[in-house]
Amino acid sequence: MHSRCSNQSPTIAVSTLQLLFLSALSPLSLHIIIPALPAIQQTFSVSAAKVQSLVALSSVGIAIAVLIYGPLADRFGRKPVLVAAGSLFVVGSALGALAPAIGAVIGGRVMQAIGGASGLVLARAICRDIYCEDKAKQFIAFLMLSTAATPLVAPFIGGLVTDRFGWRWLFVVSGVFGVILVVSVVTRLQETLREPLPLPGLTGIFSPFAALLGVPLFRRYTLALAFASAFFFAFISAAPFLYVQTLDGSAAGYGAWAAMVLGFFIAGSLLVAQSGARLSSDNLIVIGSTIYIGGALLAVWRLGGESWGATDLFGTASIMAFGAGLVISSAMAGAVSLDPKRAGSASGFSTFAQFAFGAIAVTTLGYFPAAQPDALIVITLVCAGGCFVVAASLVLGRHKRPRSGQ
């Protein structure tokens, strides 16, 4: 069977910049608005809970959208789905910028979330369309870097724009990026899907997931990805309270420590990107999960007592972030490489699993005092343990990944 993938650099039709921008759009539009929540509350004189629902409903929108985009793109192609989703993002941006009431702001932000989620799924699928497994693994790692680094920059931009121009301009800024994306896709992106899959009715949208979940190796990759991602959701939700309330730190100080943790995650993802064919995805997952659980056990020791500090909190998190960076990038590359015809569906379901496991972790944290690290320790240990068990199953099961072209 002739292989369609290549290990050459992207052509002008699919540039690295386009793929990075697609991956960054969703987290950019979400995190850029967070510093403006108090200003939005003041504008409409509503409760904080009402404004915070903007973030919660956006996350729900992303989780649902990523399940749908993959099968749609596998059936109709990457380009038309990206154009439609990008247009929805632009309309949502306009609605948010011109919103006369808080309901319109929330509605606009949810439209942004649903539209922007297409980039999270389809950028990875496009990588798998044009590259074989080893090269796809490298580029997906770079895409993960873009997704991970954006939340570090976006709040700073959001705060600056809000203070100088007002929160409505955040939707304008996002909308401009959305317009650029749509124009870029229409004029510069060529369709990368060569063999569309049939879509028999509405139920057909979800049928590829059943086929993928029937593959044991796909389930293992998705679970490894989800367990590693849940750590970040839990840490980001708990660490600000632990640092500011318990350790009497400042918001700026937290930002600096959090940047260090992100740096270790980026280092792990970069290692995956540079590994090429030297280390398989399975081997990298095993290495990453070992580092991950090692950091979790160290956190039990350092944070389990009465006396602990910022170095203990963020130092152990940095170790786990490095291991998680190895696991997440490798597992995502492995998941989308198992069945090239269903790369979009594989990316969509894997992304859904990230948000679903993250939501469970954050919801669980909400039942415990925010100023104590006990719940974070337990959740982190469970997630690291689950990831390690999945990695062990990759070794013990001795599953071989199908090679493209065979």
- Looking at residue 290, its pLDDT comes to 94
pLDDT at residue 158, rounded to an integer: 77
- Confirm if 133 and 8 have CB atoms less than 8 A apart: no
Which of 13-22, 169-178, 285-294, 354-363 shows the lowest mean pLDDT across its residues?
Answer: 13-22
At 13 the pLDDT is: 45
- Residues 226 and 370 occupy one common structural domain: yes
Choose the final residue of a domain: 191, 220, 244: 191
pLDDT score, position 383: 93
Question: What's the CATH number where 72 sits?
Answer: 1.20.1250.20
Q: Which residue has the tokens 């992100």?
A: 262
For residue 403, pLDDT over 70 is answered with: no
Of 3-7, 200-204, 251-255, 309-313, least confident by mean pLDDT is 3-7
Q: What is the pLDDT of residues 165-187, one digit of tens each?
A: 888 999 999 999 999 989 988 88
Task: Tell me, yes or no, whether 198 lies in a domain.
Answer: no
* 56 and 167 housed in the same domain: yes
CA dist list (Å): 278 to 136, 221, 265, 389: 14, 19, 20, 24
Q: What is the pLDDT of residue 390?
A: 92
Q: Region 332-357: what's the mean pLDDT?
A: 80
Write out pLDDT tens, residues 260-312.
Answer: 887 888 888 888 877 766 778 888 999 999 999 999 999 888 887 778 888 99
Range of the domain at 342: 211-397
Q: Are 282 and 394 in contact (CB under 8 A)?
A: yes
The answer to whether residue 92 scores a pLDDT higher than 90 is yes
- Residue 71: its pLDDT value, please? 79
Question: Quick check: is 8 in a domain?
Answer: no
Of 17-31, 138-152, 158-172, 315-329, which has the strongest mean pLDDT? 315-329
Count of C-beta atoms within a 10 Å radius of residue 382:
17
Query: Which range is least confidently modeled, 167-176, 343-352, 371-380?
Result: 343-352
The pLDDT, as a whole number, for residue 10 is 46
pLDDT at 319: 94
Do the domain assignments include residue 388? yes
In the 3-class helix/strand/coil scheme, how is the chain assigned residue by residue? CCCCCECCCCCCCCCHHHHHHHHHHHHHHHHCCHHHHHHHHHHHCCCHHHHHHHHHHHHHHHHHHHHHHHHHHHHHCHHHHHHHHHHHHHHHHHHHHHCCCHHHHHHHHHHHHHHHHHHHHHHHHHHHHHECHHHHHHHHHHHHHHHHHHHHHHHHHHHHHHHHHCCHHHHHHHHHHHHHHHHHHHHHCCCCCCCCCCCCCHHHHCHHHHHHHCCHHHHHHHHHHHHHHHHHHHHHHHHHHHHHHHCCCCHHHHHHHHHHHHHHHHHHHHHHHHHCCCCCHHHHHHHHHHHHHHHHHHHHHHHCCCCCCHHHHHHHHHHHHHHHHHHHHHHHHHHHHCCHHHHHHHHHHHHHHHHHHHHHHHHHHCCCCCCCCHHHHHHHHHHHHHHHHHHHHHHHHCCCCCCCCC
pLDDT at position 276 is 61
Handedness of CA 334, 338, 339, 345 (dihedral sign): negative
Highest mean pLDDT: which of 49-53, 99-103, 298-302, 342-346?
99-103
Task: Choose one of 191, 220, 255: the last residue of a domain.
Answer: 191
Shared domain check, 353 and 271? yes
In this predicted structure, the answer to whether residue 373 has a pLDDT above a threshold of 70 is yes
Percent of the chain whose predicted confidence (pLDDT) is above 70: 80
Judge if 247 and 139 occupy the same domain. no
Residues in the chain, how many? Answer: 406
Q: Mean pLDDT of all residues in the chain?
A: 80
Q: What is the per-residue pLDDT for 404?
A: 42
Same domain, 272 and 391: yes
Count of domains observed in the chain:
2
